[in-house]
């Protein structure tokens, strides 16, 4: 999970991983936008070999949700 | 009775990507206008399904993965010279710039640009394109007009295809081979439902089009048919926009 949070933070210019946790609602982040959404999908593919689809994204609220989706698809 | 210039009677037409979406609709509509079809794609089951939907007879299925050289060779070998070639096979890819690795770009460029062009080249070299004939490639508004976030790899591959076809139009005119492209905006096919955009977002996006919906595969097929038929005998090197008015807004 820590590693996932670091990878997630890397997508943004200015997000400190220590400010994030499994409970972070990612859509509430200031820098969240459609590119960030696509970047999460691309990151899951690149780092975990997992394909997240539009439904996986929509049904996730927190970073913990996203991480669970990735784990369940591995 | 004089035959309609839009008729395709007794023309032989090869359609790539005939197992799904726009390619399938194109094959069906061409058959209704009297053409003999050669259907190609990777999935034999879905190609056979398209075959069963065609009007008339004299149609054949030749399965091929167009990113495999041997498959292209076998397809070209098996062909009789065609009066029409529709390059419709392709894949989508949504990947932001920072994740658009060379590997990703090559995958989408291979499928959408390099191999369709290679098929056309080999057909020309082996004299499998008749004279006169018409070649139509399915490019995309997403390559030439709309620069949607995350669509760079796909769009660039389609822009390359659209551009290359204009050079081909110029060079092949002396052989009476016309070359044109169609530029669809969003069309409701399996392709757009495979990606990162939810059905809900698609529905909202569709309402931003002046005609208030996405296009249907057959609406692209009709434009392709115009370009295949003698009705467009003096049209070459053009890119026909089919976008429900989206480029106006
Ligand atoms: N839908 C849109 O909104 C839209 C808009 C603009 C342009 N386009 C373009 O229109 C074309 C058709 O798309 P569509 O929407 O009808 O998508 P689709 O339903 O996914 O059909 C794609 C077709 O391409 C074939 N194909 C893919 N890779 C192939 C390969 N390596 N070798 C041989 N065949 C291959 C597939 O055949 P198999 O599955 O049998 O391999 C399938 O028949 C594409 O070039 C697409 O980029 C679509």
Whether the CB-CB separation of B27 and B37 falls below 8 Å is answered with yes
Asked if A54 lies within 8 A of B98 by C-beta distance, the reply is no
Average pLDDT of chain B, as a whole number: 97
What pLDDT is recorded for position B208?
A: 97
pLDDT digits (tens, 9 = 90+) for A24-72: 999 999 999 989 999 999 999 999 999 999 889 999 999 999 999 999 9
Give pairs for A54-59: CB < 8 Å, separation 24+.
A54/B195, A54/B196, A54/B197, A54/B198, A54/B199, A54/B201, A55/B198, A57/B196, A57/B198, A58/B198, A58/B200
Give the whole-angstrom CA distance, residue B200 versus residue B23. 26
Q: B137-151, B168-182, B188-202: lowest mean pLDDT where? A: B188-202
Does B20 participate in catalysis according to the annotation?
no
Give every CB contact of residue A21 below 8 A, 6+ residues apart in sequence. A5, A63
Q: Are A56 and A50 in contact (CB under 8 A)?
A: no
Which CATH number covers residue A28? 1.10.1200.10
Q: Give the domain range for residue A66.
A: 2-73
Per-residue confidence (pLDDT) for residue B2, from 0 to 100: 75
pLDDT grade for B195, boundaries at 50, 70 and 90:
confident
Centre of ligand 1 to C-alpha A50, Å, is: 23
Residue B64 has pLDDT above 80, yes or no: yes
Instruction: For residue B192, give the chain A residue with the closest CA.
Output: A54
Domain count, chain A: 1
Q: Is B221 in the pocket of ligand 1 (CB under 6 A)?
A: no
- Per-residue pLDDT tens over the stretch B5-42: 999 999 999 999 999 999 999 999 999 999 999 999 99
Contact A55 B95 (CB under 8 A): no
Interval B86-134: pLDDT, tens: 999 999 999 999 999 999 999 999 999 999 999 999 999 999 999 999 9
**Which residue in chain A has the smallest CA separation from B196?**
A54
Give Cβ neighbours of residue B13 (< 8 Å, ≥ 6 apart): B30, B35, B36, B37, B38, B82, B83, B84, B85, B86, B228
Give the pLDDT score at B3: 87
- Nearest ligand 1 atom to alpha carbon B43: 40
Domain ranges for chain B:
12-242
Pocket test for ligand 1, best of B15, B17, B67, B119 (most atoms within 8 A of CB): B17
H/E stretch holding B52: helix B44-52
Mean pLDDT of B214-242: 98
Q: Encoding tokens for residue B140?
A: 């995309």
Give contacts of A 14-53 with B, CB under 8 A.
Answer: 34-35, 37-39, 41-43, 45-46, 52-53
pLDDT of residue B120: 98
Check whether domain B12-242 has CATH 3.40.50.720, yes or no = yes
Closest CA–CA distance from residue B150 to any residue of chain A (Å): 7
Q: Is B158 a catalytic residue?
A: yes
| pLDDT score at B1 | 64
User: Measured on CA atoms in the order B42, B44, B49, B53, is the torsion positive or negative?
Assistant: positive
Please state the pTM of the whole predicted model.
Answer: 0.96
- In the predicted model, is pLDDT for residue B196 greater than 90? no
């Amino acid at each position: 999970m820590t590693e996932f949070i670091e990878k997630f933070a890397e997508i943004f210019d200015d997000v400190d991983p220590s400010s994030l946790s499994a409970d972070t609602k990612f859509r509430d982040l200031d820098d969240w936008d459609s590119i960030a959404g696509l970047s999460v999908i691309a990151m899951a593919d690149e780092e975990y070999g997992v394909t997240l689809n539009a439904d996986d994204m929509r049904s996730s609220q927190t970073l913990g949700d996203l991480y669970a989706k990735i784990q369940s698809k591995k | 009775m004089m035959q309609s210039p839009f008729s395709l009677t007794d023309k032989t037409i090869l359609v790539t990507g005939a197992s799904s979406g726009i390619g399938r609709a194109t094959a069906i509509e061409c058959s209704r206008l009297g053409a003999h079809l050669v259907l190609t794609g990777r999935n034999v089951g879905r190609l056979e399904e398209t075959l069963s939907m065609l009007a008339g007879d004299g149609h054949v299925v030749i399965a091929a993965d167009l990113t495999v050289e041997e498959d292209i060779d076998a397809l070209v070998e098996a062909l009789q010279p065609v009066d029409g070639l529709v390059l419709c096979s392709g894949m989508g890819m949504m990947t932001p710039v920072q994740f658009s690795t060379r590997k990703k770009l090559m995958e989408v460029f291979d499928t959408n640009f390099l191999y369709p062009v290679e098929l056309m080249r080999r057909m020309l070299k082996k004299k499998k394109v008749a004279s006169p004939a018409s070649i139509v490639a399915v490019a995309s508004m997403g390559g030439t007009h709309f620069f949607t976030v995350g669509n760079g790899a796909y769009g660039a591959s389609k822009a390359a295809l659209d551009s290359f076809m204009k050079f081909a139009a110029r060079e092949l005119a002396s052989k009476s081979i016309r070359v044109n492209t169609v530029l669809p905006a969003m069309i409701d096919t399996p392709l757009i439902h495979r990606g990162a955009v939810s059905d809900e977002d698609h529905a909202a996006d569709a309402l931003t089009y002046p005609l208030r919906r996405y296009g249907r595969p057959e609406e692209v097929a009709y434009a392709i048919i115009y370009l295949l038929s003698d009705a467009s005998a003096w049209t070459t090197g053009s890119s026909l926009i089919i976008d429900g008015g989206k480029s106006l807004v």
